[in-house]
Structure 1
Amino acid sequence: MKGLKALLLPFCLFCGVASGQESFRVELGKDGETIADMRPVFLKFETRPLPAISPAEVARRYQKLFSTTDEPSVRVDALNRLTNIRDRSGQDIGFSPAEEAVVYQQAIESYESILERGAFGGRLDELLYQMAKAHALTGQNEASVKRLQQLVGLYPDSALVPEAWFRVAESAFAAGSYIEAESGYRNLVDGKADAGDLRNKARYMLGWSLYKQGPHAWERAGKRFVAVLDESLPNTESLHQVSESSVDSIDDTLRILALMASQRNGAETLMAWLQPTPLRSWTPLAFDRLADLYAVQGNAEESVATNRAFATYFPSHPQRAGFMAQVVDVWNQASQPVKARAAMADYVALFDNQSDYAALEERYRTKWRDFSRVLADFYYTEGGAGSGSVAARNYASAATYYEGLASRSPAAGEFYRLAGDAWLQAEAYPAALKNYRFAAYDVPGYEHTADAGWAAVALIRAGVSGELAPSEYRPDLNELAVETDRFTAQHGADPRAPELLAYVANRWLEAGNDEQALNYAVRAVTHEQSGPKVRYAGWLVTAQVRQNMLEYGLAERAWREALALAAGESATAAMKQEMPELQQQLATVIYRQGEQAAEAGKPAIAVAHFQRIETVLPGSEIAIKGRFDAANTLLRASEWQPAINELNRFRADYSSHALASDISEKLVLAYTASGQPVRAAGELMDMADGYIDNGQSIATGEGALSYRLRAAELFHAAEANDQRDAIYIDYLASSPVAEDAEEHIRLQTMRQRLIESGRRTTQWRVDLVSAELQSRWHSEQTLQWAAQGALTLGAEAAREFAGIELDIPLEKSLADKQVAMERAQTYFRNAESLGGSEVLPESLYRRAELHRIMASDLMASTPPPELNELEQMQYAMLLEEEAYPFEERAIALHSENHQGIATNGFNAWVEKSLNVLAELHPGRYQRSMRWMSVSVEGGNDGA
């Protein structure tokens, strides 16, 4: 029996607020059946859209207003608007659940303050209602009820009164005050206010309030429950249009009517409550429920009497046959076969026309039966003695006599069965089946009805399997299923039934009808006569069907049941031999559950499924794959550290498995994504070492080289420069040649990073500049690096140049100095070709200084000591003539730097050139000046 359920549907209440406010709607009841389990008031503005401002920001301001204001009406309004914003925006904003209890406690204080002051811009009935709700939300049920009572007392015409009465009554009912609850529900049921769906709910609960008061109130309760059913099922069409939300309340109402009637005078009491119109759309339901209740209580006599009472009260009702057929079911369930057969006889007599046979006198009817029996036996004997078509004709004749005899004989069952046997021998299978069915299901009192029913089943089964002699009779599996249902319904306790159910289940499975296969398999498994072998067969079908339907959790249970039976003491040898396959299937469905959970975005559940495969089939291929997929699932879910742990564990356990070859790459991904670049790089280095262990070197093993370069990038990201640089140095030592722009940039990046690390900087700069000059591919970055490298190399060469002194013999030292000068100038020119205007000022300055230093050093060189005074003067004049072109070139280059201000602007290197020019050419350049940046517009060079 189902428990009482109060169906409290959501409802809404429309009301106005203070003048100048927008209209709003208050919705209650959406979260529970009592005020105590509802959520806070839900306000929804309807006349104005939300402003173009973040709802979260607006909510924050109303929170702040609520928390800072001391004015109760302002606090109430702020809270109302805050809940409205949360409703309209659909965002989880405003107060947290923990804060709401405190907030609504403060709201109650504000409500009470407004009431005490007697000044409120809105309607007081709404205020009282909101106070009731706030009290309920804070667990103050008694205070909530008190406010609702104030509302109905002070404002009886308010639209909120029906809701308030219902909540007051509901509270009383929950507290066990059924008389008080009756009063509250009655106010709503008998009131004139428009209560909508609440009135029918109150009518339902009013009936329960009366029932709870005890038997003295049951008469009134019965009438009330009848009214509820009249409202819920007003006509025949409504019986087929019951909403899901009304099913339980209608079912409970029928149940309680039957319960009260069964404890009085049964059908008679029920008829009294139905007056003055006993036949209603739902009257058959009430009688059926009462009859079922008696049957469940074990009172078969009263159950039968109730069924018969319906047929008596309503002799023309179309469901009378159903009630009479139900009498047979009642006696069968009560294990009264004699009474069941008598009931079937009554049913057949009531609906079978016997006019022709009844017209005979008794003695002629007896003689008709005697003659029919003699002829039937004779032809049956003759059929057994003959062969071929003659025998078939004799059997057919015998069958015809047996059929006629059966329809008029007290031993009809035996005659129908004999007729079935005769038709079977005549290979007239449809006729044989018809008579078996008559014997099995249409003859009351026949003691071999189960055998006749089994004969019908066996005949169809043989036709389905192809065991019958060739004929036009070709029954299908659906016909066998129908016959099986009929047999098991009538003879469910027969020990042959479980095996039949299992057989049909397997045939449906073979036919690809999973739904039917599951139906019969479940019946086979749950049959009280089923042995281990039948249950095993049923569980196998159930498991395969569930697996076909992708219901892998249910399939797992079925496979486990089958496995337990195969491992049991009663298992056959064949069952035991199938245990490995059962374990494999069990592991498979667990694996499929893992796949389903992973696809559904539930990685934790998926991993749990994948990992438990090992407990079912340890060391198997599917268990290993499950472990591997568990790690992959964690990877896809970005659960990096658990994934790392699983991957390492898998590699440790199954290092030689083919799947382990992918572990390193997955670990690199996990380490990288989880912020562990050094460990990722270490994994790549191990992979590279694996290539070396396989006989490949770094020069020829592209895989190993790729791993090392990837590791270098990870070392770089982790600022592990020593490890990174070691890889770069090894790689560059192999003299790689760039085949494309990407490779060129990568090589240049390596050289630049080595330079920045301070490792053999001069050599790497030389390689960097040389590679950039020779390459067909460039990027802004590589050009900048090469230009700066050339400048640096030029500066180093310039320092070497400046350090060479011009001494005796001058020819040798001057030659060395000129070589150094040319090398420096080459670097500076390379810098200009690579860096362009960015490095030009510095390059021009340094090139000019090379010439100036050369001129200065020439003039300062020591003359040979063997010269006389005149020769020394001549020597000095020769040096001056040699130095002059260098000085002129120096001035020209510094001037060029100066002139570049118009295009490149003023910078430190231009300033240095000006300072040198002021020293070399004081008449022109030694003056006070200040350089300013000028915006160039409209084609004006603005030099």
Structure 2
Amino acid sequence: MMHIKMRQLTSSLLFCLLLSACGDEADIAERQTLESMDDTSLLQPLVKKKVDLSKSESDIRDAYINYIEHSSTEDLSRSEALNRLANIEFKLSEKLLTESEDEKVASQLAEQKLNRVIELLETSLQDYPDARHNDVSLYQLAKAYDQKGEYEKTHKALQQLANKYPKSKFYLEAQFRLAEYEFTKRNYRLSEDKYTEIIVSKKNNVFYEKALYKRGWSRFKQQFYLEAADDFVRVINLNSFAEYEQLNNGQQNLFNEYFRALALSFSYLGGAEQLNIYLEGSEYADDDYYIYRSLSAVFFKQQQYNDAAASLSSFIKYNPNSKHAPLAALKMIEIWKEAGFIDKRSEAFNHFYQTYHPDSAYWKSQSPINKKIYEQSTLALKSQILTETATYHKQYQQSKKQEDFLYAQRWYNNYLRYFKSYARQDNIYFLLASLYGQQGDDSNAVKYYQLAAYDEQTIINKEAAYQTILLASELHKSSTNPSDKKAWLSKLIDYAMLYAQQYPTDKNTLTVIAFVSDTAYANQAYKQAIALSELVVSGKKSTLINGINSTKANAYFHDKQFVVAESTYLDLANTKSLNSKQRNAALEGLSLSIFYQAEQAKDANQIDEAIGHYARIIDVAPNTEAASSGLYDAIALSIEHEKWLPAIDYIKQFRKRYPKHKFTTDVTKKLSVAYLNSKQNVAAAKELEKLSSNEDSIEYKMASLLKAAQLYQENNETTAAIRSYEKYVKNYSKPFNVYQESLYQLTLLTLDKKNQKKSLYWQQQILNADKKTPSNLKTARTNYIASNAAIALARQQNQIFSSIRLIQPLRKHLTRKKKTMRASVNFYAKASSYGLEETVTEATFAIAKIYNDFSQALLKSEVPKHLDEDEKEEYMFLLEDQAFPFEEKAIEFHEINLLYSADGLNDKWIRHSLTALQKLFPLRYNRQPKVEEVINVLH
């Protein structure tokens, strides 16, 4: 397929060349009929008979064939016709290749066309050997042979063209192809001559550079290396290459090709020494660096490493101030490194460092400094220093020789001198710290580990941070100076805090917290010990965590944070993995933490709190020494401050727990004093409430709790009363009447606390209980309570119903309003169902009003904006139809309310119904409703 495409391309090229070769104006005038062959009116006289041709290529082709067949060989125009027909055959061949779906068939047809082209051209050349445009025919014939792969015939045609037509525009191309041919045949002398012919010719722009370059290779192949070098230098100068990195890929490939050719020449001439001599008198116009670099690359590829390095060294020697000198020096380092000569690489690097470090004389002499080369050099210097540090550091680890240590230290310091900003990125601080650590210099080691580990209060190197903890611990332990010891303790704590905060789940974190918090506690740094121990995030109990919690609890205690100490000791005491000794210690700490809370409260004159603390020790740590002492102090403090009921309770506890205690007689005396003075209802209520939880008898619990609630309520202790009633209804639903009364009191108390939502909740509970209870268990009081509950819930739903406006989208708001209307009506109906005078008339009036309000709301609802006037009118008629039944319902319930007057009722709700009926029926203002026609749906 590639061969076919090449044929297509060549055919197109030949076609274009032939068209361009059709001569000047004089030629056109002579061959007017051929130039106008496409025009049938001009073609007819030429073929001497009438032919009707179309404008298609096929028709034109047929016309030319016809013309050639009928014209004589003496007709000079026939030569041009043959050439033009050959051109058409080329074009048709190309068309076959591009448009045919069958590639094989297309290729065969194209081959036939190509043979036809050759036949036509050879006929033209044979029949008309002196035709003016035979150079074009020969050129076209050479192309055709080349497409067929008949290269000897191609060569022969080009040779004829070059020999016979030296002024042809195809002459230089023919010479170049002939030169290429000789070069491939290794006839280098002949190819040199032909390339030279092109070089000295005029108008050789197209082939000049290529011919000059290929002549260089022809000379090179004949071992004329200096002459070859001259040609290569001239080719390079022709291009005026920019900096290598600025070239595009194509230019870089050309650059590499030319410089490699030049370098190869000097590799055969003896290398850098001959290059130096040559360049002194050379016409080469650019920096010599690329020649030396290419020469070095040639030697390196040939594994002549000394020559490769020497080439670059020679460049530096003769061009010490060149901007490329650092690059050459770097290249030398790479050569020795890749060749595996470690000592030579090290030597080359040392020289590079001395000569090109950022403060060197070289860079100070550069004006201006080439920024790109400077950056490349310094980055390479940094990389090479890293190699040196790694090399000597490793040697020191293996040898432990001071010499290796000093070399490693030197290169680390050199790195920090020039590249400190990259130190963390390249892990220099950590490596230098480890070097000092391996030598036993802990002070310097921790200094550099700290630099590696921390960015202000953030750890950026976990391993380095861990090392700072270990080293700070060692330095704290070994310090004899108190101020140094204190400073190292502070650093140790800071390091540990950061580590635990940033790596809470790390495998080392618990060990760090345990060790450092214990160290802080031992040095009376209680707050720091606490802060560390509180960083534990693991929920799993372990010996390590138990130790941390123990230290934390002790630190809280010694820091007089007794509340938190208590919590910590309690958690510790409840840990199953403790042995008996550890648990007893925790309980002792727990009891003392509570005892000292009592002491603090007592000192602050917070008597109730102090008494509570003293008394509760016995609950959390009953077997400790502080438990009995605390309970006795609670009794004494209660009596001292006339806390009679608590005193009675504590005395009972003490006598029960410690019947043989030495203070038993004393507490019995205090008990009699407490009973004589206990006339406080609220306190009694509290005791009763406690008894309701502590006594075994259910009847006693119920009575105590109910009495406590009543006492709270009588003494305006609303919150406590609510709490007691709630506790009662939660636990005791029988007997029903007491349960309902308790719920009713909760509705009143929560309403008193302005908690309407909770009050409504209890109202609902009343109705729920009433619903589930048989009628024989209900009383007038429970019916009253239930009826009031229904009224309250109905009012709440009525409020919601009234607040809902019928705006667009109407369906959504209408649905909500209907739902709340039904809920409210149902609750009012429920209230009325109990038949109580207090609620029945209100409920009936409210139901009537709800229906009327709903009717009015429909009529006043928002009309959709998109309706026109006719549609609005129709819409309003529909609304009136919808509203009318609800208005009728309203009238019906108002009339039902009037019926209650027959039973002797005449309250405000009946009067309100009468007023409403007068407004709804102005025509019946003075008439009484026909009672017999109305059915009371609530009876």
Higher helix proportion (structure 1 or 2): 2
Please tell me the TM-score bracket, short chain as reference: 0.3 to 0.5
Structure 2-normalised TM-score?
A: 0.33
Of structures 1 and 2, the larger Rg is shown by: 2
State the TM-score, normalizing by the size of structure 1: 0.33
